[in-house]
Amino acid sequence: MVEEIGEFRNIIKWEHDEKKVKEKITKNHDEVEDFFGDILWELASLANYCDVDLSDALDKIIEKHKLRFPVDKVKGHHTNE
């Protein structure tokens, strides 16, 4: 997965302007789509090996995030300030 993320990073590296990042992603859409497919396949394979139900794991983490980051308290607030 690290290698896949590195390949995705190569598409957008050195770019900090959100509009230009989106343009690069659009220009390289097939490569970006392959990245997500590869990551999902690897993640699903790893979850299967570890006997983890991804749907259950996602549901649990969403509930945790709702408690940690309530919308009324974090919406519009940048966390790096």
The pLDDT score that the predictor gives to residue 70 is 84
Mean pLDDT, residues 39-66? 95
Mean pLDDT over all residues of the chain? 89
What H or E segment, with its residue span, contains residue 46?
helix 29-49
More confident site: 73 or 17: 17
Q: Is the pLDDT of residue 76 over 80?
A: no
The pLDDT score that the predictor gives to residue 79 is 56
Task: Tell me how far apart the alpha carbons of residues 60 and 49 are, in angstroms, rounded to a whole number.
Answer: 19
Task: Tell me how far apart the alpha carbons of residues 72 and 49 are, in angstroms, rounded to a whole number.
Answer: 38
Q: Is the pLDDT of residue 53 over 90?
A: yes
- pTM assigned to the model: 0.68
The pLDDT score that the predictor gives to residue 62 is 94
